[in-house]
Structure 1
């Protein structure tokens, strides 16, 4: 009788792609910021915006004048903010393809909506969320999100393989991260409001629901990180729905293992 054949169990293996996917899910440092080709020699703004270098210099100078009024005050007054928003709106009307003006108007609108933080509170995410959604003008919030979307659309290269300038990368990192922050706050506000409370957010966002808004925030955090924002890289991991799902599975397996050992 022949000896029984022996079998050596093969070790499970992952393809290169599988390994890359798993690493991207759980490791913020693996965010493919290196996939963005930043070339300092490029003109500051992409050619398709049709803003010559001389005109761009003028726009930057005018923009700095407007923003300086905000930075000169530790807590800008409502009148100062409204004046800056009005001046940025005028700049946008005369130069509708200038992305930075939209990004700065969005920031000024955010400051106008939130107002000064109470002196007795710290700037925790929960406190900011309450200020943003309890004392807000929905139209301002709608304009704010629209401005961020326009700034992103104008700044994004036509092809993912196209190189971007340093200014372009910084603008995309900031605007994607800013929008992600807001979408995440709106998502959490809707989730906490439930069916018993009316959340003060635009109807279109309510229709999307908290889960979809969180996924949208995760995508924006991913792109913010891709263009160089380190905080966005970390937040992309925390809000990634697949990473959260895998994390939940691991936690449940550990819980069962612990209970089984008791």
Structure 2
């Protein structure tokens, strides 16, 4: 049986391509210039200071890189990052690494309570017991993004900037997606007071998914391939169009 092709305008075709094809994400809109200094001038860190900072960061990370670091070791690493950030408050990478260290601390605290990481892994960060640490994690990720993002989307970025922005947007998008799933898991139950990060309280699961999709889009824009795919999967318009297409195909088959 012959089939007819839908009559799509050029604009409609472009919209559908952007919605469903991760490779069409406008990552090409970001200009990465390898000749640029690692951080924008607003970071205010000299080349000599930067070399010292990198070594200091690496030293802190080595403390927690072994198998099963203790809570005391992780708390010491957090304190070291606190001191580093107090001295260099405009250094984006330190906020990223402190956020990662705080996430590890949340996991360790939960393990000590449950002795079962698998059953608690999804919702651990979004309980009232972890709300203070979760708030700090989201604040750190937001600060890293704020410090590293160029003033204009048209401004070129360095390799270091692009890599950090890709990773941090993807990290935050992943946490937002987990927050949305945690929110769905408590539907029909009374939500705990003070549950999760302060800035996410009161938001519905759909709102959290949209925020995650935006972060994945930006993570993909700066070069993270996984984020590009997740941006498509979590895009509310893509999901809506996908449902419409599936329904149209079902009717076509039935017809």
TM above 0.5: yes
CA apart distance, 1:198: 2.5
1:97 equivalent to 2:90? Answer: yes
Would the aligned equivalents of 1:113 and 1:135 in 2 still touch at CA under 8 Å? no
Query: CA distance change for structure 1 residues 56 and 203 in 2, over 3 Å: closer, same or farther?
Result: closer
Would the aligned equivalents of 1:39 and 1:164 in 2 still touch at CA under 8 Å? yes
1:63 equivalent to 2:57? Answer: yes
Between the two proteins, the alignment pairs up a number of residues equal to 246
State the match for 1:51 in structure 2.
45
Aligned counterpart for 1:218 among listed residues 213, 218, 240 = 213
**1:207 counterpart SS class:** coil
State the match for 1:141 in structure 2.
134
1:87 equivalent to 2:80? Answer: yes
Query: CA distance change for structure 1 residues 58 and 142 in 2, over 3 Å: closer, same or farther?
Result: same
CA apart distance, 1:134: 4.8
Summarize deviations over 1:188-230 as a string: whole Å, max 9, x none.
1111211314253235413121111110000000000111111
For 1:83-162, list aligned pairs within 5 A.
83-115=76-108, 128-134=121-127, 136-162=129-155
1:40 equivalent to 2:26? Answer: no
Query: In terms of mean alpha carbon deviation, does 110-119 or 97-106 score higher?
Result: 110-119
State the match for 1:192 in structure 2.
185
d(CA) in 2 for partners of 1:140, 1:25: 35
Would the aligned equivalents of 1:114 and 1:136 in 2 still touch at CA under 8 Å? no
Would the aligned equivalents of 1:42 and 1:165 in 2 still touch at CA under 8 Å? yes
d(CA) in 2 for partners of 1:69, 1:203: 30
Would the aligned equivalents of 2:37 and 2:158 in 1 still touch at CA under 8 Å? yes
CA apart distance, 1:52: 1.4
> Unmatched 5+ residue regions in structure 2?
1-5
Would the aligned equivalents of 2:135 and 2:198 in 1 still touch at CA under 8 Å? no
For 1:8-27, list aligned pairs within 5 A.
12-15=7-10, 17-27=11-21
> Unmatched 5+ residue regions in structure 1?
1-10
CA apart distance, 1:30: 1.3
Aligned counterpart for 1:249 among listed residues 226, 244, 253 = 244
d(CA) in 1 for partners of 2:16, 2:36: 34
State the match for 1:30 in structure 2.
24
**Superposition TM-score, scaled by structure 2 size:** 0.88
d(CA) in 1 for partners of 2:203, 2:218: 21
State the match for 2:3 in structure 1.
none
Q: Which has the larger radius of gyration?
A: 1
CA apart distance, 1:257: 4.1
**Superposition TM-score, scaled by structure 1 size:** 0.86
d(CA) in 1 for partners of 2:232, 2:8: 24
CA apart distance, 1:58: 1.3
d(CA) in 2 for partners of 1:76, 1:157: 36
d(CA) in 2 for partners of 1:59, 1:128: 32
